[in-house]
Amino acid sequence: MTSDPTYTFAVIDVTVLGAIYEQFIAKRIEIGSRRRVTLNDKPEVRVSGGVFVTPRKVVDTIVDRTLGPLCNVKSPEEVASLKIVDIACGSGTFLLSAFAFLQSWHLGWYINDGVEEHNGKEIYEVGGGNWKLTLAEKRRILLNNIFGVDIDDQAVEVTQFGLLLRAIEDEDEGSVRAYRRRTKQRALPSLDGNIKCGNSLVDIASLRQFIPNPSEELLVSINPFNWKSEFHEVVEQGGFDVIVGNPPYIRIQRMVRYAPEEAEFYQSDLSGYASAQRDNFDKYQLFVERAISLLREGGCLGYMR
């Protein structure tokens, strides 16, 4: 008699998803004149000059230095209120690292607090004195703490997929079936409320002031995003606790060439970006400004320099 198979994804480095995104999802099929089919970079990738995967060591270091101090001497109830976001999440490398950090932190806290108290609820023993988080606890952490935004809808799907893989890791058919029977819920939650598609830097109201009647094509190209409506509860409570990531580096000269309307918007007073009021700036600076505006008092920003 064979036991239920266990889903193990630990052998998949988080950078693998980034590499897949870079090689395939960052491109699209275009049909030109004479019905000639070509594979080209997506517009947003063309503007940025390509998709770049941040090294795993750098990602983990940034996550450790931002999340670590905030989780120190806290309880799981207190950590549950932390909101972590990557506002240009790409393939989700930083969010995967943050999710792994939180899983490890919670597991250690429950073990130190006393396994008898948490056995069968937040953790369970897998043999030999080894303990794992329950599926319910992993789902709770993911839905409570992890958020992201990216301009590319397929990058959003890759991020959601990666996070869900991590949530189901170490589960087997029996544990998944037991969870569904006990909770009457799907084993894997929808992440549509956590990982969303849009341009983190462009608010639709400000854009419509700058361009009163934007064309549908322009709206699709810029893909404006409304933080107040999309993450209403977080914004109303003061903002995010942690923002991590490695936003794109794009000089204004490249933006003017490939996305002139968007570049003009950033340089206008309506955009609200102080760093864009100069003749020479980088889009990275705008992401820093946006991130600071989204942080709550005492929050922490961790970006790759």
Higher pLDDT, 8 or 89: 89
Question: Is 21 contained in some domain?
Answer: yes
pLDDT category at 127 given cuts 50, 70, 90 is: confident
**Distance between CA 208 and CA 60 in Å, rounded?**
39
Question: Is 120 contained in some domain?
Answer: yes
Question: Is 138 contained in some domain?
Answer: yes
pLDDT category at 31 given cuts 50, 70, 90 is: low
Residue 83 φ/ψ, nearest 5 degrees: -115, 120
Q: Strand order of the sheet with strand 295-303? A: 195-197, 146-150, 84-86, 240-245, 295-303
pLDDT score for 81 = 96
Q: CA geometry: angle at 65 spanning 240 and 115, to 5°?
A: 85
Question: Is 23 contained in some domain?
Answer: yes
Question: Is 144 contained in some domain?
Answer: yes
Provide the residue range defining the domain that includes 26: 14-303
271-286 residue pLDDT tens: 999 999 877 899 999 9
Q: Is the pTM of this model over 0.75?
A: yes
152-184 residue pLDDT tens: 888 899 899 999 989 998 888 888 888 899 899
What one-letter code names the amino acid at 201?
L
Question: Is 179 contained in some domain?
Answer: yes
Higher pLDDT, 22 or 133: 133
**Which residue from 231, 146, 228, 226 is spatially nearest to 189, judged by alpha carbons?**
146
Residue 154 φ/ψ, nearest 5 degrees: -75, -30
Question: Is 2 contained in some domain?
Answer: no
pLDDT score for 14 = 53
Mean pLDDT, residues 290-297 taken together: 97
* Packing angle, helices 173-183 and 135-145, rounded to 10: 70
| Structural domains of the chain, count | 1
Instruction: Name the percent of the chain lying above pLDDT 90.
Output: 63
Question: Is 109 contained in some domain?
Answer: yes
pLDDT score for 171 = 85
pLDDT score for 209 = 94
pLDDT category at 269 given cuts 50, 70, 90 is: very high
pLDDT category at 1 given cuts 50, 70, 90 is: very low
